[in-house]
Structure 1
């Protein structure tokens, strides 16, 4: 099977979303910046993350043969990509929270709370978004099975659509750490991800480029523009997020000039570590520097430190942990299978 094209612009879209989350938390670290903030940016950025995750899973796996081994490889690959660095982030927050008088923002106190987060039932700070992501990975093999033969497994498609409809009528209720409350973003993202190979670059007009460039930024400020919307996590924003991902994935020259640019792609590469560690890093920088330097210097220094630590985390935690766990998994599999299949290069780069 021909290997999937790496979509560079999606790296930049992920980087933009990560930068938006960091921006949205500036007033949490530096309260004096609150008057200059735009409401809802962080939540909308996470919504784009969720739609992008659904898109990539369907794009990379949707037309690949499915088997027990393929599913096992998929789950190990995704777990090794997410959990090790997430676990380090949980421990870092727990340590900072345990320092007397430190008053760390979004703390994790006590062994019970630490265990909840380790078991992916915690919701402190940015860590709340990891449990629904993992839950979607567990659901995706069912979606994958449907994609593998839509006629034979049409009951799965009908069941998923019906559940989504009921979930929408209920207002996507439930704790944010449960997949049902964010299901629309993942499913609609997966739907357009499956459509992507079928488009064959047909969406190549200038309108596509302009929308691909502007829609993601419009989504980020949509909560501010429409503060009275009934459900910030409903079907409408899910549709918008999925459409934005699909349009950016077309890599029109107008949008690619921004999203496929090297700085944006770098942000995309380190985005998960930046997402996980920017709060503790910026909090520490504020505590160390704010008494000696003006805010105009402390804020850029804190942002630079967050980027540096995210890059170090990517190089020293994310990448080595993923490679070690996946390599060990394939070594075990090679004892039973003569020709274990490696992870495609496009997947290694894209997700």
Structure 2
């Protein structure tokens, strides 16, 4: 197994924590100007950039026809490894999402089976989401494609990127790669103009603007893959801390009016995220006291991201229904934040890592 780029792992943790904070404040106040990370949804685009880099690093050589047969990884070998890495937590997250949905005490009867929603609709949404497939939207979830556990919409597109990578992108030459990157950048800029009235690029999670999702996926994924393949690096002092500050600064930039905000976000994705990747790729190991924090947040990032949203939704419905005073509301928000971190940590060590290790030995070892 190849050594990890620990800074990049840690940056995934930084972005995941930012997403949780963004979602909590998003449900406290719909005014993103009062959110500490008003561009927090762009962490999704950063995840895609990280994914492109990591897939190139982990699999480019192993999928090459020039690799010796004993070391080469075929299509199904790649698919098994990606499923083992990503999917064990999916049924846990989806089941927790279903439990939270059916037992929300602050939403009346609109989510009760046989009253507000049929058993068939619930069962269909649950089963489809187990396979990360879009499902019909349930009550109180706007038009989300993955309403049982909303973050799984990004994992659905991550799987699509993985398929494109193993079928075609792993053998695309540098000229074609740059051309695809240029086209995807143009598509992102055009999308920024088209979404000017929506004030952000943070769409693609619902059916109305489903077309935004592949646009948000294409550029950062291709950019991350190109940064790896070109070996681009930027050496700065304390790269984990420096790059984390850059990520947080991007997500915390004040909201601009109209099209300027969507163009700013496109510029962040096109120009800033690749630079952050180059900083993170400058070293492999994080030494000193920051090392354990970097490694822990990196491991925690995926469980935290995929598990947190149903509990944040419970908190939001409680806040909307009861209108608590600010000290109680923000105290409860802090409690939700701590709870989802503890839950993700417990499931990481008690379930996810052991299950992935067993599946790896059983299905992915040569």
Q: Structure 1-normalised TM-score? A: 0.73
Change (3 A) 1:123 1:302: same
Of 244, 248, 252, 1:217 maps to 248
Look up the match of 1:299: 333
Q: Distance in 1 between matches of 2:277 and 2:9?
A: 11
Counterparts of residues 29-68 of structure 1 (less than 5 Å): 30-31=28-29, 36-38=34-36, 40-66=38-64
Q: How far 1:131 sits from its partner (Å)?
A: 0.9
RMSD: 4.0
Aligned match of 2:157: 132
In structure 1, the gaps of 5 or more residues are 332-339, 341-351
Tell me if the contact between 1:81 and 1:318 (Cα under 8 Å) persists in the aligned partners: no
Equivalent of residue 267 in structure 1, options 290, 297, 302: 297
Equivalents in 1 of 2:44, 2:254: separation in Å? 13
Deviations 1:106-147 (A, max 9, x none): x8962333244233223333222111111111111222123x
Q: Which residue of 184, 188, 200 corresponds with 1:164? A: 184
C-alpha displacement of 1:317: 3.0
CA spacing shift, 1:75–1:180, aligned 2, 3 Å:
farther
Please state how far the C-alpha of 1:237 moved relative to its aligned partner. Answer: 1.6
> Is 1:184 aligned to 2:216, yes or no?
no
Cα gap change, 1:159 to 1:272, in 2 (>3 Å): same
- Equivalent residue of 1:97, what SS? helix
Q: CA distance change for structure 1 residues 118 and 247 in 2, over 3 Å: closer, same or farther?
A: same
Tell me by how many angstroms 1:101 deviates.
Answer: 4.3
- The residue that corresponds to 2:346 in the other structure is 312
**For residues 355 and 257 of structure 2, what CA distance do their matches in structure 1 show?**
42
Indicate the structure with greater helix content: 1
1:181-226: per-residue Cα shift (whole Å, max 9, x none)? Answer: 4211111111102223x75xxx435698996454322321246357
Q: Residue 355 of structure 2: which of 317, 321, 335 is its match?
A: 321
Does residue 144 of structure 1 match 2:170?
yes
Distance 1:176 1:23 in 2: 26
Note if 1:330 corresponds to 2:364.
Answer: yes
Describe the SS at the equivalent of 2:341: helix
Distance in 1 (CA, whole Å) between partners of 2:105 and 2:239 is 53
Q: Give the length in aligned residue pairs.
A: 315
